[in-house]
Amino acid sequence: MGATLDALHRLQSIEDRLRSVRDQIESKRRTVKARQSRIAAIEKQNAETQQIIRQAQAESDRFELDRLTREEHVNKLREALNRTKSNKEYAAILTQLNTEKADMLKLEESALNALGRVEQEKKKEADLRAILEKEKTQAAEIARTSAEAEGRLAKQLAALEQERDAAADGIPTSVLAMFRRACERHEGEAMALVERVHPKRSEYVCTGCNMSVPLEIINSLQSRDEVQMCQICSRILYLEVPAGAAV
Ligand SMILES: [Zn+2]
């Protein structure tokens, strides 16, 4: 293998580690963010519950006020009933009184129902508060360990970036540009092994895209320290796995 390809393999290996460290940082941040959204969702639910409690309480108060007004009216009707002289008037007032009493009963029931809802929602609110407290404690702990891990990873990242710059030194600029483009296009996998498809025929494929590689590229790779790109996927091609490298 040529010296340039060797250097590119070293660069690729550093690039892989860099990517892995960046992924770890991203994953930590995602976890923290997911916890925050969960807390926000519970807080929203809690606010909605409080709103329902206020509405049900106000409703119950209105029913009670209405009932009291009717009670006053019933008392007045009772007095009128005592003062009445004619049977006809008596019967009319009695009907009115009974209607008012029936309405009062209905209002009392409605007020109690609304109060029942208040109690029910208050229980729900207490449960939500307990969940929220627990979630917040957990989220704080996760944020703390995440920040610690991120600090460590940031140091690793800086060291790897230095290592990468050192590894890039001495690689021709045009080759480096080719490498960077291939990295961008293939999620950091800039290089691809060339495989011989058939032991008896001179047919080769790029293992990055599985398309065939022309023989002149194979010849060039075998004879010169020249960097060759797959004409289909633009990955940098190599013929053999460097010693000690994992594929
Ligand atoms: Zn290819």
Task: Encode pLDDT of 130-147 as tens digits.
Answer: 999 999 999 999 999 999
Distance 208 CA to ligand 1 centre (A): 5
Q: Same domain for 110 and 222? A: no
Q: Which two tokens stand for residue 9?
A: 């393999």
Distance 20 CA to ligand 1 centre (A): 23
Within-domain flag for 156: yes
Range of the domain at 206: 173-238
Q: What is the mean pLDDT of the segment spanning 106-120? A: 97
The CATH number linked to 127 is 1.10.287.1490
Q: What is the mean pLDDT of the segment spanning 163-180? A: 95
Q: Give the sheet arrangement for strand 204-206, strand by strand.
A: 212-213, 204-206, 191-196, 236-238
Within-domain flag for 246: no
Domain count, the chain: 2
Q: What is the mean pLDDT of the segment spanning 104-121? A: 97
Of 147, 168, 189, the residue at which a domain comes to its end is 168
CA distance 41 to 48: 11
For residue 64, the model assigns a pLDDT of: 97
Within-domain flag for 224: yes
Distance 211 CA to ligand 1 centre (A): 6
Distance 238 CA to ligand 1 centre (A): 11
Average pLDDT over all residues of the chain: 94
Distance 195 CA to ligand 1 centre (A): 11
Distance 18 CA to ligand 1 centre (A): 23
196 beta partners: 204
Q: Same domain for 138 and 182? A: no
CA distance 93 to 75: 12
Q: Same domain for 94 and 203? A: no
Distance 209 CA to ligand 1 centre (A): 4
For residue 244, the model assigns a pLDDT of: 53
Q: Same domain for 87 and 113? A: yes
For residue 174, the model assigns a pLDDT of: 95
Distance 11 CA to ligand 1 centre (A): 19
CA 23 to chain CA mean position, Å: 16
**SS3 for 75?**
helix
For residue 245, the model assigns a pLDDT of: 52
Distance 191 CA to ligand 1 centre (A): 9
Q: Is the pLDDT of residue 151 over 90?
A: yes
Q: What is the mean pLDDT of the segment spanning 219-238? A: 92
pTM of the full predicted structure?
Answer: 0.75
For residue 246, the model assigns a pLDDT of: 47
Distance 1 CA to ligand 1 centre (A): 19
Q: Binning pLDDT at 50, 70 and 90, where does residue 243 land? A: low
pLDDT tens-digit series, residues 40-82: 999 999 999 999 999 999 999 999 999 999 999 999 999 999 9
Within-domain flag for 25: yes
Distance 122 CA to ligand 1 centre (A): 64
Q: Is the pLDDT of residue 247 over 60?
A: no
Q: What is the mean pLDDT of the segment spanning 139-162? A: 97
Distance 181 CA to ligand 1 centre (A): 14
Q: Same domain for 201 and 137? A: no
Q: What is the mean pLDDT of the segment spanning 181-186? A: 96
